[in-house]
Chains A and B, each alone.
Chain A
Amino acid sequence: MYEVIITRPRSLAEAIEALGDDNATALAGGQTLIPTMKQRLAAPEVLVSLSGIDELSGVTIGDGEITIGAATTHAEVAREVAGACPALAALAGGIGDPAVRNRGTIGGSLANNDPAADYPAAVLACDATIITNDREIRSDEFFDGLFSTALLEGEIITAVRFPMPERAAYAKFDQPASRFALTGVFVAAGGGVVRVAVTGAGEDGVFRWDAAEQALMKDFSPSAIEGLSPDPSGMIGDLHGTPEYRAHLVGVMTKRAVEAALG
């Protein structure tokens, strides 16, 4: 790691001011950024830590929606939403290991938009809203390819608002080494709409699988998915699986998510 100055603002306003510095980078839980810095692949001069800002942390369960502060750790989400949205709690409780879950945050994960991260699938499937210091961004507008989002320079995610789905589940197939999602599928149904979001598989990161959504809106059952899988072109191929394998897994994991959502 190169030398770096860390600032620890206590309010959102202080954080925004600190991030006005062109050389500053926001530090959330640091579960991606710190290892990258240790490898000297990232070299920010100033880190603005968001973990000491009370207004960014915590879970509010309201009428039909859940609002999660951006600096809320995965472990807290797993605990706090277990009753209100078991699918989201299970997803948060399955990220990384206990150390990662107690440091990593939902805001950090979404801003990073790793193509194999879990949260993007939940946000996209639930049609959650990303709230920043400046505006609200719909999930369909937020994710913008690998490690890229609609966030502007200096813009901070403050919270994420999830409409509570009537039925939802996340089915994840682990990459054997990292245990990130080799393929993860979040299925959410509510108000006659079904959304299916896939992480880990697509070359452009998280995506909605339209064909499955249409099939499930006609018939929300595992059999509706039988024989369906997306086109392998556009799927990731690497050491751990070919595009064909990932495309196949998208079908299998979607089916399993539907099964789980039906209880």
Chain B
Amino acid sequence: MPADGGIGASTKRREDVRFLTGQGNYTDDINIHNQAHVFFLRSDMAHGKINGIDTAAAEKMPGVIRIFTSKDFEGVGGIPCGWQVTDRFGEPMQEPKHPVLAEGFVRHVGEPIAAVVAETLQQARDAAEAIELDIEELPPVVDMAAALEEGAPKVHEDLSSNLCFDWGFVEENREAVDEAIRNAPHVTTLELRNQRLVANPMEPRVAIGVYDRADDEHTLYTTSQNPHVIRLLMGAFVLGIPEHKLRVVSPDVGGGFGTKIFHYQEEAFCTFAAKAVNRPVKWRSSRSEAFMSDAQGRDHVTKIELALDEEGKFLAIRTNTLANMGAYLSTFAPSVPTWLHGTLMAGNYTTPLIYVNVKAVFTNTVPVDAYRGAGRPEATFQLERVIDKAARELGIDPIELRRRNFITEFPYETPVALTYDTGDYHATMDKLEELADLKGFEARAAESKKRGKLRGLGVNCYIEACGIAPSNLVGQLGARAGLYESATVRVNATGSITVMTGSHSHGQGHETAFPQVIADMIGIDPEQVEIVHGDTAKGPMGMGTYGSRSLAVGGSAMVRAAEKVINKARKIAAHLMEASEADIELKDGRFTVKGTDKSVAWGDVTLAAYVPHNYPLEELEPGLEETAFYDPSNFTYPAGAYACEVEVDPETGKVDVCSFHAVDDFGNIVNPMIVSGQVHGGLGQGIGQALLENCVYDDDGQLLSASYMDYAMPRADDLPFYSVDHSCQTPCTHNPLGVKGCGEAGAIGSPPTIVNAVVDALQRAGHDVTHIDMPLTPARVWAAMQG
């Protein structure tokens, strides 16, 4: 490990100094002089027809500045959807309008109906209670299968049904897959649910709209993973404000997990209202509001069939999934169960024929969108659970069955449209077997048994597609955005560097890791490099942080910009030393003339660029600042093998996770400590999904798990000490850093590991249990044991 803080060093996170000492600058820390506060009156009904909203009494309440309803938004666009899916018949998905404030109908608990802007939040809330609503309750649809039945109540009266789209992939394979499954010697079938989750970032969402009447300029401060995307979506599609008159700022962001990617009504409202009342308007979500207004995650119900031959070779996979969209299409919702899910169904295996059918369904629930992993955890869960079940049915060791089907030659074209550039799945599995001491399992199981506990072992693999991705490809798939990334490398006169990146950290440590790359390229101290992000006024158009893309795409853009800077600096150095450019080498922060002792320091060259007295002005512009936009040629494919051991208490059904081993191949690694931290966080969320978290609506569409009293978040004592390893490295072949991305792996690979282990524990104890739906609460595990 280099001691100099370059690539490969576990440099401590410089941003933690301010985060851990209360000096962070989060959106809620921002207060603008003369700001007013908004409180949203939200629907307490899952489905209803709005017959009237009487605000007369509320308007007279103390401190009220103005009360808004949908009437104030006539001519304003709906919240746009950023991805259009084409169904298997070639037709576009059904795409209902998503108004800023409810228009005519309420369609989920938590939908904003009216907004009260007042001097204080307390006054706004008091006035909201005085608004008289006349809403006629309509029958809600909550269950996806029921929503698709003939004659089911419609979430959107103007759509033909509750079916958003019926997607087939690869549609041309449909019949061949059917036939392969019909003729296969063995077919393993599994029906499962990937339950709905609430993202729960530590920092709730906040939005502050500011309008400068003198210059006709809007500013939105918001808790976003991608401020430029918000500027484009809100400016162009909702409010009609051109980019040069709209600035979006996201300062420190306290976690996102996907739910802060999307453009929300509250952002558009605050921006709009700030102009309408000519006052800054601030909104801060309460935790209760977050439960019913942040886009939720997962919520797939799937039947998967895996066909195998006598030797356990996979012949075909067929899946049928119902994917819950909620009441409206959130920004990237349609992409999650389709292109981020269907394309991953090959996993780490050579299955030649795959067909994925997804029916996306509207229900009277909070919209669902990308959440850490987004589609890939759903794919991995199905695949790794059905493989485990097949192994038990065929009497083949689960690891052996996986090994028999591993892809071993790269590049590998899957039957579901991806080309894996590189990987070594046997190597990660070998490492796992060593790390997890699988040979010692029986002895540990015997020891558990002495204490009256049932021990189980779960092992599985995962692969994911990260670093989303080639713009021209995603455009063909329906994305209404490019997915490049940008960076400007601004070298200051005395040699320090400011990097404006379109990536935006919401906790990942970019301010530490990105400078390590620049420091390594030039040979300067990383402390000489500063990262600027999260402000559309400061950097070039960027696409933001999600899908484990920051280093792979944003980091690559920064490398390209830095290369341009270095090339120009090399020319300046050649001039200063009166040498040929071809002979100039950059090492340890000095340019030298090859084969001589002539050299010039980085700082002297940068100074020359800005004080161009001795400078080739006829050939070269002064200054040293370059911008690059990087559009990757492929996704990246992190992959790994995970193992865990659990103990089940046979009396109560409680599951304890005794150990968790994660072996990940992330390609090259810039900061191993940050990578381990990302894996730890992902495992925590994945174990949370497997054992604890569950977002539940009752039949009336009321959210039952609406607070931490009923929504179980993982706590430290629910989790084991992790053992993580990322020594297996097959560098990505198509980005300049050879990196793959690590942010989501833990959350993708861990849920099936836990479920596999619990099923293993129960089967070893003689229970005929082949599957339990997540979360594996004590009550569910106990019920499964009762048969």
Task: Give the interface of A toward B (CB within 8 A).
Answer: 2, 39-40, 173, 176-178, 182, 239-242, 245, 248-249, 252
A177 in contact with B652 (CB, 8 Å)? no
Which of B288, B652, B692, B704 has most A Cβ within 10 Å?
B652
- Closest Cβ–Cβ distance, residue A85 to chain B (whole Å): 26
Chain A hits for B708, CB < 8 A: 177-178
Given contacts A39-B288, A242-B783, contact A176 B777 (CB under 8 A): yes
A176 in contact with B696 (CB, 8 Å)? no
Given contacts A239-B694, A239-B696, A245-B783, contact A173 B777 (CB under 8 A): no
- Closest Cβ–Cβ distance, residue A226 to chain B (whole Å): 11
Determine the residue in chain A with the shortest Cβ distance to B696. Answer: A239
Seed contacts A177-B705, A252-B651; 18 additional CB < 8 Å A-B pairs:
A39-B288, A40-B125, A40-B129, A176-B692, A176-B712, A177-B692, A177-B708, A177-B709, A177-B711, A177-B713, A182-B778, A239-B694, A240-B777, A240-B779, A242-B783, A245-B653, A245-B779, A248-B782
- Distance between Cα atoms of A242 and B691 in the complex (Å): 17
A252 in contact with B711 (CB, 8 Å)? no
- Closest Cβ–Cβ distance, residue A243 to chain B (whole Å): 11
A176 in contact with B709 (CB, 8 Å)? no
Name the one of B651, B652, B653, B704 contacting A239, with C-beta atoms under 8 angstroms. B704
- Is B700 on the interface with A (CB-CB < 8 A)? no
- Closest Cβ–Cβ distance, residue A93 to chain B (whole Å): 15
- Distance between Cα atoms of A240 and B783 in the complex (Å): 12
Within 8 A of A (CB), among B764-784: 777-779, 782-783
- Distance between Cα atoms of A248 and B778 in the complex (Å): 12
The interface size of chain B toward A, counting residues with CB under 8 Å, comes to 25
- Is B585 on the interface with A (CB-CB < 8 A)? no
Chain B hits for A176, CB < 8 A: 691-692, 712, 777-778
Task: Give the interface of B toward A (CB within 8 A).
Answer: 125-126, 129, 288, 651-654, 691-692, 694, 696, 704-705, 708-713, 777-779, 782-783
- Distance between Cα atoms of A224 and B653 in the complex (Å): 22
Which 9 pairs, one residue from A and one from B, show the smallest C-beta to C-beta distance? A177-B712, A241-B779, A176-B712, A178-B709, A245-B779, A252-B651, A177-B710, A176-B692, A239-B704
A249 in contact with B712 (CB, 8 Å)? no
Name the one of A2, A39, A173 contacting B652, with C-beta atoms under 8 angstroms. A173
Chain A hits for B694, CB < 8 A: 239
B652 in contact with A249 (CB, 8 Å)? yes
B705 in contact with A239 (CB, 8 Å)? yes
Given contacts A177-B708, A177-B710, A178-B708, contact A242 B652 (CB under 8 A): no
Determine the residue in chain B with the shortest Cβ distance to A183. Answer: B652
- Distance between Cα atoms of A177 and B712 in the complex (Å): 4
- Distance between Cα atoms of A176 and B653 in the complex (Å): 12
- Distance between Cα atoms of A21 and B696 in the complex (Å): 42
- Distance between Cα atoms of A252 and B654 in the complex (Å): 12
B711 in contact with A242 (CB, 8 Å)? no
Chain A hits for B692, CB < 8 A: 176-177
Chain B hits for A173, CB < 8 A: 652, 654, 778
Which of A182, A239, A242, A252 has most B Cβ within 10 Å?
A239
Q: 10 A-B pairs, CB-CB below 8 angstroms?
A: A40-B125, A40-B129, A176-B778, A177-B712, A239-B710, A240-B710, A245-B778, A245-B782, A245-B783, A249-B652
- Distance between Cα atoms of A110 and B288 in the complex (Å): 27
Determine the residue in chain A with the shortest Cβ distance to B698. Answer: A239
Chain A hits for B783, CB < 8 A: 242, 245
Chain A hits for B696, CB < 8 A: 239
Chain B hits for A40, CB < 8 A: 125, 129
Determine the residue in chain B with the shortest Cβ distance to A2. Answer: B126
- Distance between Cα atoms of A39 and B691 in the complex (Å): 29
- Closest Cβ–Cβ distance, residue B407 to chain A (whole Å): 38
Chain A hits for B711, CB < 8 A: 177
Chain A hits for B126, CB < 8 A: 2
A252 in contact with B779 (CB, 8 Å)? no
- Distance between Cα atoms of A249 and B710 in the complex (Å): 19
Determine the residue in chain A with the shortest Cβ distance to B649. Answer: A252
A242 in contact with B779 (CB, 8 Å)? yes
- Distance between Cα atoms of A11 and B691 in the complex (Å): 49
- Distance between Cα atoms of A248 and B779 in the complex (Å): 10
Chain A hits for B652, CB < 8 A: 173, 249, 252
- Distance between Cα atoms of A242 and B778 in the complex (Å): 11
Chain A hits for B778, CB < 8 A: 173, 176, 182, 241, 245
Chain A hits for B709, CB < 8 A: 177-178
- Distance between Cα atoms of A44 and B307 in the complex (Å): 65
Determine the residue in chain A with the shortest Cβ distance to B713. Answer: A177
- Distance between Cα atoms of A248 and B705 in the complex (Å): 24
- Closest Cβ–Cβ distance, residue B609 to chain A (whole Å): 56
Chain B hits for A252, CB < 8 A: 651-652
- Distance between Cα atoms of A67 and B474 in the complex (Å): 71
Chain B hits for A182, CB < 8 A: 778
Chain A hits for B691, CB < 8 A: 176
- Distance between Cα atoms of A215 and B694 in the complex (Å): 39
- Distance between Cα atoms of A192 and B709 in the complex (Å): 40
- Distance between Cα atoms of A245 and B778 in the complex (Å): 9
Chain B hits for A242, CB < 8 A: 779, 783
- Distance between Cα atoms of A182 and B710 in the complex (Å): 12
Chain B hits for A248, CB < 8 A: 782
- Closest Cβ–Cβ distance, residue A205 to chain B (whole Å): 17
Name the one of A39, A178, A241 contacting B710, with C-beta atoms under 8 angstroms. A178
- Distance between Cα atoms of A245 and B783 in the complex (Å): 8
- Distance between Cα atoms of A40 and B121 in the complex (Å): 14
- Distance between Cα atoms of A121 and B200 in the complex (Å): 34
Chain A hits for B779, CB < 8 A: 240-242, 245
Determine the residue in chain A with the shortest Cβ distance to B694. Answer: A239
- Closest Cβ–Cβ distance, residue A225 to chain B (whole Å): 12
- Distance between Cα atoms of A166 and B592 in the complex (Å): 86
Which of B651, B696, B711, B713 has most A Cβ within 10 Å?
B651
Determine the residue in chain A with the shortest Cβ distance to B692. Answer: A176
- Closest Cβ–Cβ distance, residue B93 to chain A (whole Å): 33
Which of B129, B692, B694, B712 has most A Cβ within 10 Å?
B712
Determine the residue in chain A with the shortest Cβ distance to B125. Answer: A40
Chain B hits for A178, CB < 8 A: 708-710
